[in-house]
Amino acid sequence: MLVLLTWATEGVYPLAVLAAAAGYGAWPARWLLRGDSPAKRWTLATALGLGALVFLTLALGLLGVMGRIPAWGLVGLGVVMGCVALSREDFRRVGDQAATGVKLRVVLMIAGFALPATVGFIGATLPPGVLWVEEGRGYDALEYHLQAPREFYDADRITFLPHNVYASFPQQMETLYLLLMQLRGDAQLAAIPAQMLHLLCGALAIVAIGVWSPPGWPRLVATLTAVSAPWLVIVGTLAYVELGMLLFTAVACGLLLDQLRAERPDTRAMIAAGMAAGLACGCKYTAIVLIAIAGWVSWMLLARAAWRNRAIGGAVFAVAAALTFAPWAARNVAFTGDPVYPFGWRVFHGAAWSDAQVEQWARGHRVPPESASVAGRAKLAMRELFGSFERSGPPSGQAVFR
């Protein structure tokens, strides 16, 4: 009962943010995916709208005009825009597609989602570090994912935090947590809504995987495979960034897959894919390589279009991704002089960093000496990937191997 009460009271805030995001993104999504299914358009709309809310909040924060009234104004405007867009939507195609579903697949879907959904639903209402021993009992959430926006909230502006290097990483999700703090009127009270928002981003990522999977059994297998990863729930019940990144990644990959077989890739779809990839990069630096660059290379190699058309589509994707990530690079240049602070230190020599700290950082993140060889790295990778069913395997595997 307490869990339901918490969701009924605190869940209003993340749901309001998602509703506003869908409203802001509905209009560009309608143009970018003209003629596509409503399910794809609204999934893209929510992803793009989250980016719009982030950049609007970032702008207000940099200008020092943050507050509860501007925050609710942003959300209210987005909700109104979404209502107008909904009134113009034709959902008959969705109904036709749903009518062709098979009852067995629906039952299996519900059964597969029941356990992770229940654990996530409960876990998101608990303070960080209470439910899981993993992740240092929520250390990362407390030290920077929530701490950085809390300091911005207390200062009434977004500024450089020289004592917390992680505050200069791209802060796509953290800026949404800052927006929640403004909506809630209290930084500490926004911690639970922040966890709920992160969990809901994971749910939307599963929706995106389903929407862009072939209908029928392939869609069932894809979504159940995704939802069966325990890390999805473990990370999802903390105010982290990974599930936001997963949402943007799923949308970007789905859009790229749609254009694999096209003789002439659709420019608008490639713009949308690039924007989604850029938003993923805004969640975490590693997405620049693992999502944007890897996605671009994979599509360029696998697309069926002629090389000229492939080059045009790839260029559109790359430019859209770069422009969407650009606000974070611009913020860092303004604050530190280094667009990818602190990793560009040897080139840009950003503020509040040093050669000693570069070495300390490298030492702390370096592969242990005993695993530095090729064989050692392979052994380490195998242990991380397959060494614990509790962390990476399906729930059925956890039950067997406990």
Contacts of 381 (CB under 8 A, 6+ apart): none
Domain parsing of the chain, residue ranges: 2-269
pLDDT at res. 358: 84
Q: What does the buried/exposed string (b/e) look like for 57-72 if buried means 16 or more CB atoms within 10 Å of the residue's CB?
A: bbebbbeeebeeeebe
Residue matched to tokens 């069913």:
389
3-state secondary structure (DSSP) of residue 372: coil
Per the document, the length of the chain is 402
Please give the single-letter amino acid code of residue 7: W
Nearest to 241 by CA among 146, 379, 347, 338: 146
Could you give the angle at the alpha carbon of 276 between the alpha carbons of 275 and 282, nearest 5°?
Answer: 90
d(CA 107, CA 90): 27
Q: How far is CA 106 from CA 217, 221, 223, 353, in A?
A: 10, 12, 12, 54
Please give the single-letter amino acid code of residue 319: V
pLDDT at res. 402: 33
Mean pLDDT by 10 residues, the chain (402 residues): 92 98 96 90 97 98 95 97 88 48 68 86 89 76 94 96 94 98 96 97 96 90 89 91 97 97 95 98 97 97 95 98 98 95 89 86 80 82 68 40 30
pTM value is: 0.91
